[in-house]
Amino acid sequence: MKIIMFGTKPIEKSYTEAWAQKTGNEVKMVPDPLNDDTVEMAKGFDGVVTQQTASLGSGDVYQKLASYGIKQIGLRTAGYDMVDLDAANANGITITRVAIYSPRAIAEMGVTQAMYLNSKIGLFNQRMKEDNDFRWADALVSNEIYNLTVGIIGLGHIGGATAQIYKALGAKVIAYDPYYDPEQEAFVDYTDLETVLKESDIVSLHTPLFPNTKNIINADALKKMKKTAYLINMARGGLVDTQALIKALQDGEIAGAGLDTLADETTYFGKKVAADDVPEDFKTLAAMPNVVVTPHVAFFTKTSVRNMVEIALNDTVTIVNGGKTRNAVR
Ligand code: NAD
């Protein structure tokens, strides 16, 4: 089978070539996104795969793909907001996505940031770099993870993987999730949101962004947390009221934060931006020694990249051959 893969990045090349060799399929990799200008490149191929944040454009793309005999678009991403599902549907095109590529990747980044904060590394760094002060200070005494209570909000794939790591490190792990999963019982004690906020030394956020989870960490929630607690957000920026977080950090209501996502990130994360275009909230947070900000890269591991490529290509073969996959959208 001949597959065209749009939006390819150099890091995907070796995984794509290995998959093609393993499965005996042919994959043409092109760096361009799939849109009105590039869709003609798909002529003569059996399947289409893409990874892009930009829209696939007008309904013409789906119509043209259908006229080339193409039945599917395999997305190498979890998100599918760049696709017009109605237009795809109208043209008989099945969209697949990679909903779960490596929960462990995101879990490990969250634990890494929590450990960095808990060991006060940013604070020691600041003292050494700015004051040539290499002393310890009583205020910077740390606490080992097995003495801590970790609270997980949203105990799905990533929250569950996070709970397992903390449990393995000896922490007490509690969690709030409105949906009970018996498989998690070995790792956590389920409780309510209020208890998670009040009792946790590390609060780790792993829910999707829904209307009812938007700003789930607001000024009130931050006030409920321990003054010594750390907030970890590896999920979606909109779960946290950024201004309330900045105020809580400035007022010492919590001890620090590890953030892989920020509410306004879409305008600058993933880009190299001019100095004037860097938002003030990022600058304020990044200047704090008790805050770590990473640009939505928690997912970015070799395992994730390989899985995004392989799962999208496997689903493409399945759909082209007339089969079904649980990764189909809708
Ligand atoms: P998931 O669907 O497996 O788990 C989400 C969990 O949240 C579910 O168990 C659900 O019951 C629970 N939940 C829903 N509403 C809730 C509420 N009001 N309070 C508490 N829990 C609630 O999702 P996942 O794959 O584990 O992803 C979790 C988050 O991580 C999502 O926000 C996702 O967008 C984000 N994510 C981030 C990265 C990254 O690189 N930083 C990568 C992938 C996913």
- pLDDT tens figures, 132-155: 999 999 999 999 999 999 999 999
The one-character DSSP state at 33 is P
Q: pLDDT band at 121, cuts 50/70/90?
A: very high
Mean pLDDT of the chain: 96
The answer to whether residue 104 is catalytic is: no
Percent above pLDDT 90 for the chain: 93
C-alpha span between 42 and 38 (Å, rounded):
8
Residue 40's pLDDT is: 97
The CB of 191 under 6 Å from ligand 1? The reply is: no
- Top pLDDT among 267 and 157 is at 157
Percent above pLDDT 70 for the chain: 100
Q: Whose CA is nearest to atom 21 of ligand 1?
A: 154
Q: What contacts 277, CB < 8 A, 6 or more positions away?
A: 267, 268
Distances (CA, A) of 146 to 77, 150, 270: 35, 10, 35
Residue 68's pLDDT is: 98
Residue 266's pLDDT is: 82
Residue 79's pLDDT is: 84
**Closest to 122 (Cα-Cα) out of 260, 255, 252:** 255
Residue 54's pLDDT is: 87
Residue type, 49: V
- Give me the mean pLDDT over the 81-98 stretch: 95
Q: Whose CA is nearest to atom 35 of ligand 1?
A: 235
Provide the token pair at 122.
Answer: 């940013």
Q: What is the pLDDT of residues 28-73, one digit of tens each?
A: 999 999 999 999 999 999 999 999 888 998 789 999 999 999 999 9
The model's pTM: 0.92
C-alpha span between 200 and 198 (Å, rounded):
6
Atom of ligand 1 nearest to the CA of 236: 32
C-alpha span between 323 and 58 (Å, rounded):
27
Q: pLDDT band at 282, cuts 50/70/90?
A: very high
Asked which of 159-173, 177-191, 264-278 is least confident by mean pLDDT, the reply is 264-278
Q: Ligand 1 pocket test: which of 53, 108, 152, 158 has the largest number of ligand atoms within 8 Å of its C-beta? A: 158
Q: pLDDT band at 330, cuts 50/70/90?
A: confident
